[in-house]
Amino acid sequence: GGITVGSLAYTAVTAFAINALTKKSLAKARSAAASVAAAQKGYGTNVNAVSPASDHAIIYGQQRVGGVIFYRSITNDQQYLHTLLALAGHECEEIGTVYADNVALTLDGNGFVTNDDFQIKDALRINKHLGTSTQAADADLVAEDGAWTTAHAAKGIAYIYIRAEFSGDVFPQGLPTFSAVVKGKKVFDPRTSTTAWSSNAALCLRDYLTSDYGLGANSDEINDTVFSTAANTCDENVTLSGGSTEKRYTVDGSFVTALPPD
């Protein structure tokens, strides 16, 4: 299924307004189709495709990902650019460090970026949403953008809301490309009959086999005795040359539902 938000009418932002805040974004917008296609190959960290409806990204384990911009608007007499960037089409365990290009951003308790070295202090505010089934619309965006209401909860979509304040000093080359380190999908563990985040390779494979974007297998087609044994093997600690340990087999990656199962 595609990323949709209720009856949301995607806000068309004028070229003049975008250009006033994000010169670089204009060039990106001209190749929107190409960037969406690039995103469909794996949501690389250098991709912020623009589309109001796009194929879902699925994240297993933990990975730094870019995403798809599914809403944009300008408010307060072109002072603020509001952007919603979808990271995954399912609930995620955690959205960790957010990056602007390759700079790790530090956020205060209200979501404002405090990096002095990147010269963007207070010019950016970022809110994180994990895509839960009870997710509410972003309260800050509702308060500042009359076109975004409490009905636009974006349930089931893990995303970040970015508010950028116009500043030629802070963004002389336009907005950067955003990405985030995400702990992805929660998966079922037949050993405990619980569903929780895990990068265990066997559990992630089981989830893919039973998901509608994967093979859509029924539970009676899955041998959970075999998967439990495999999961235990994956969880074995392996000693590295430096003396530390890591799990024997893990999965950390992402793909989009446009890609057919092989």
Average per-residue pLDDT for the chain: 82
- Residue 43: what residue type? Y
Question: Which range has the worst mean pLDDT, 4-13, 21-30, 79-88, 164-173?
Answer: 4-13
Nearest Cα to Cα of residue 184 among 71, 80, 75, 60: 60
Greater model confidence, 174 or 242: 242
**Full-prediction pTM beyond 0.85?**
no
Name the residue with tokens 């998967």.
227
pLDDT recorded at residue 166: 84
184 close to 88: Cβ distance less than 8 angstroms: yes
What is the C-alpha separation between 154 and 5, in angstroms, rounded?
5
Q: What percent of the chain has pLDDT over 70?
A: 77
At residue 262 the predicted structure's pLDDT band, cuts being 50, 70 and 90, is low
At residue 170 the predicted structure's pLDDT band, cuts being 50, 70 and 90, is confident
At residue 118 the predicted structure's pLDDT band, cuts being 50, 70 and 90, is low
82 close to 103: Cβ distance less than 8 angstroms: no
DSSP the chain: -B---TT--PPPPPHHHHHHH-HHHHHHHHTHHHHHHHHTTT--TT-EEE-SS-BPEEEESEEEE-EEEEEEEEETTTTEEEEEEEEESS--SEEEEEEETTEEP-B-TTSBB--TTTT-TTTEEEEEE---TTPPPPHHHHHH-TTS-TT---TT-EEEEEEEE--TTT-TT-PPPEEEEEE--EEEETTTTEEEE--BHHHHHHHHHHSTTTT---GGGS-HHHHHHHHHHHT-EEE-TTS-EEESSB--EEEETTSPP-
At residue 171 the predicted structure's pLDDT band, cuts being 50, 70 and 90, is confident
Tell me the pLDDT tens digit for each residue of 234-244.
Answer: 999 999 998 99
42 close to 255: Cβ distance less than 8 angstroms: yes
Tell me the pLDDT tens digit for each residue of 201-250.
Answer: 999 999 999 999 999 999 899 999 999 999 999 999 999 998 999 999 99
